[in-house]
Structure 1
Amino acid sequence: MREGREAEPTAGITDAQSVRAAAMVPTASRGYDGGKKVPGRKRHTVTDTLGRLLVVAVTAANIGDRDAAADLLARLRRLHRDITLVWAAGGYTGSLVGWCRNKLALTLEIVKSTDDMTGFVVLPRRWVAERTFAWLMNFRRLARNYETLPATSEALTLWSMVTRMSRCLARPRAAGRH
C-alpha cells in the first residue's frame, strides 16, 4: 500500500531457480537440471509485480517448469483469489496455458525473448522474478540447499522473504515520496 497499490495483488510473475544441494540432501529429493548443469533442487516461485513472494514450491532439479507449475498455480489460486494474470518464461508454454485458463480462470501470458536478442537483455515483467531470486540468494542459508525435506526449504524461503519485507516496512520513508 505504501507503493500506492492495492493491498491484494491482481497479477504475478512465475519463474524457477536451480540451486545446488549439499551432500546431506537425500538423493530421492534431488536431481540434475541439464539446462543449467546444476545438481540439486529447483525453487518454483510466484511473485507479485513488486517482487514479493506469494507462493514457493521446492522440487528436485530435474522436474520441469511446466510439471511443477500446475500445482504451484493451483496453490496460488487458492491463496490469492484476486490474481487473474500471471507472466511466465518460455518454459511454461504448451497445454499449461489452456489448462490455467479453463481450470483456474487464470491468464498465463508467456514473455519470450526474440531470436535477434544477443547477450543479456532485460525482459519485461520477468526481471521482477529474477530480482526476487537475487534477494533470496543474499540469505546465506539459501545460496545452497542444505535441507533434508523440500518443505523445510520452502519454509526457509518464505522466512527469508518475511525478513526482507519487515526490513522494508521498518525503513524510514524517503523525503518527498508520498
Structure 2
Amino acid sequence: MSKNRSNTFIIFTACIISGCQLTSEDVISRVYDPTIIEHYQLPVLLSEVDTVQSFRQRKAKETWYWTLLKNDSYLEGENLVVQIISQSPLKQPPSRFDFTLPGDGGVMEYNALGPYQSWFYETADGTRCTQSRHNIRNRETWLSVFTHFCTSNNEQEITWVKALTPSILLEGY
C-alpha cells in the first residue's frame, strides 16, 4: 500500500473506532505557550532602549509579541512593548499585560512606522512614564503596537518610541 493510502486508511480506521466525524473544514484553535524569540524576530524593532527578553505567542487569529524592558520601578504592567498582528486594529492591549491606555487626549506624533498617539505623565514620587499606541495596516491585517515605559532614572531617555522602526519581517505579515 502506498504511503498516502496507508495514512488515509489509518485516519479512516481511527475515526470509525473513535466515532469522529470527518468534515472538509480546517479548524485550528490551538494556543501555544509563549516562545522566546530574538529581538530581530519582532515586527517592529526596538532601539535606544534596553530590553530583557522578547516572546511570541500564536492564538487562533492573532499573533502576540511582547518585550520586557529593563524595569527600575518593578511594577506589573510597566516597561513592556506589546505588538499584536490581528484582523482589526486594537485600541487597548490585552488585559493579560496589566496596563491600559488613557481613553483620550495624548499627543499625535510620527515615526518610521507612521502616525501614533502617545501620553506622558509623572507620578508623585518623580517616576516619569510614557505610553503609546500605533495601528499599522498591511493588506488584510493590522499591527497594533503598545508601549508602557516608566523610569525613576532622570538621565534615562523616555522618547525612544520615536525611534521604533519596522523590521524586514513586517513586510511579510
TM category (shorter chain) comes to: under 0.3
| Higher share in strand | 2
TM-score, reference length from structure 1: 0.23
Which gives a bigger RCO, structure 1 or 2 (Cα 8 Å, sep 6+)? 1
| Higher share in helix | 1
